[in-house]
Amino acid sequence: MLSKKVEKALNEQVAMEGSASNHYLAMACWCDREALSGCAQFLFDHAEEERMHMMKLIHYINDSGGFAVTPAIKQPQLEFEDVFDVFDTAYQNELKVSAAIDNLVEIADQEKDKQTYQFLQWYVDEQHEEEVTYRNLIDRIKLIGIEGRGLYFIDKEVETLAATKAANEGK
Ligand code: FEO
């Protein structure tokens, strides 16, 4: 059984994951428009992944005797300066999500809610993985540069990354 405090905090995370999904969708559409199909595919996939994070929380709340609140849809940022801006924005957002998950873990601990504490460990690992992915991508973009053919090579790299990720996840 969830305490009211834990239920409220979990629902705030539901909203955050839903919003992250929307942000990735907007980033994917921007890349698509800029003919960066590899980056677009990676970000469309990530939008789906964030939705899955939201759904996992929703089911957990409902299965634990709480009530999952469907979040409102707020329009995300639609325009970006360049592909570096896209991935840097993604990375900054992931850092905020990580901080929110850490805060949630702390609340579960304070409330002596071992089940939620345990449930959240999956998110802790997932956030670490996502931070690493975006930090590596940003480093690659800095290394290759976005001028001329650099942009083409970045897109190809991200396309390969998206395909590898999909294969690992059995898509
Ligand atoms: Fe589910 Fe990347 O936050």
Q: What is the CATH number of the domain that holds 163?
A: 1.20.1260.10
- Interval 97-148: pLDDT, tens: 999 999 999 999 999 999 999 999 999 999 999 999 999 999 999 999 999 8
List, chain by chain if needed, residues with CB within 6 Å of any ligand 1 atom: 17, 20, 50, 53, 94, 97, 130
Domain holding 42, by residue range, is 4-168
Predicted confidence (pLDDT) per residue in 80-99, tens digit: 999 999 999 999 999 999 99
The total number of residues written for the chain in this structure: 171
> 70 pLDDT band (50/70/90 cuts)?
very high
Nearest CA to ligand 1 atom 2: 94
- Mean pLDDT across 57-61: 98
Confidence of residue 166 (pLDDT cuts 50, 70, 90): confident
Is residue 168 scored above 90 in pLDDT?
A: no
Q: How far does the centroid of ligand 1 lie from the alpha carbon of residue 2, in Å?
A: 22
pLDDT of res. 169: 81
Cα gap 119→87, rounded to integer Å: 28
Question: Helix, strand, or coil here: 111?
Answer: coil
Ligand 1 geometric centre to CA of 119 (Å): 15
**Ligand 1, atom 1: nearest CA belongs to which residue?**
50
**CA–centroid distance, residue 155 to ligand 1 (Å):** 22
User: Could you give the CA distance from residue 3 to residue 30 in angstroms, rounded to a whole number?
Assistant: 41
Average pLDDT over residues 58-84: 97
Which pTM value belongs to this model? 0.95
Cα–ligand 1 centroid distance for 79 (angstroms): 21
Question: Would you say residue 171 has pLDDT above 80?
Answer: no
Number of structural domains in the chain: 1
Question: Which of helix, strand or coil describes residue 135?
Answer: helix
d(CA 99, CA 21): 17
User: How is residue 94 written in tokens?
Assistant: 């992931």
Q: How deeply is 121 buried, as exposed, middle or buried, from its count of CB atoms within 10 A (0-12, 13-18, 19+)?
A: exposed
Q: What are phi and psi of 154, to 5 degrees?
A: -60, -45
